[in-house]
C-alpha cells in the first residue's frame, strides 16, 4: 500500500510479510484501519458517529484505528 500527501512522509514501511510475500507476518493493516487513518487526516474523529438517511446513528469506521506510524499522533 502506498499513501502520499496530507502530512504523510514517504518511504515508510509498516510491518513485514511472510517469506513468500503472501501474508502479513507482523503488524497487519486492515481496511478499517486505512479508513480511520484517512478520516483522522481529514480532521474527522474515526470513532465518531453520523445519522444515516433513516435517522439511525452509524459509526464512521467499524473498529478501525488510525495508523499512528504514519500520522504520528
Q: Please give the residue range of the domain that contains residue 60.
A: 16-71
pLDDT band at 2, cuts 50/70/90?
low
Task: Look at residue 55 in the predicted model and tell me its pLDDT.
Answer: 96
Task: Evaluate whether residue 8 is within a structural domain.
Answer: no
Task: Evaluate whether residue 7 is within a structural domain.
Answer: no
Task: Look at residue 13 in the predicted model and tell me its pLDDT.
Answer: 78
Task: Evaluate whether residue 5 is within a structural domain.
Answer: no
Query: pLDDT tens digit string along 44-70?
Result: 999 899 999 999 999 998 888 898 888
Write the burial class of residue 8 (CB in 10 Å: 0-12 exposed, 13-18 middle, 19+ buried): middle
Q: How many domains does the chain have?
A: 1
Integer Cα distance of 71 and 20 in angstroms: 29
Amino acid at each position: 500500500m502506498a499513501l502520499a500527501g496530507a502530512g504523510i512522509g514517504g518511504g515508510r514501511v509498516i510491518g513485514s510479510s511472510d517469506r513468500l510475500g503472501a501474508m502479513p507476518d507482523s503488524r497487519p493493516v486492515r481496511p478499517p484501519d486505512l479508513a480511520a487513518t484517512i478520516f483522522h487526516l481529514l480532521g474527522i474523529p474515526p470513532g465518531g458517529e453520523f445519522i444515516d438517511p433513516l435517522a439511525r446513528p452509524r459509526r464512521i469506521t467499524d473498529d478501525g484505528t488510525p495508523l499512528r506510524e504514519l500520522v504520528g499522533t
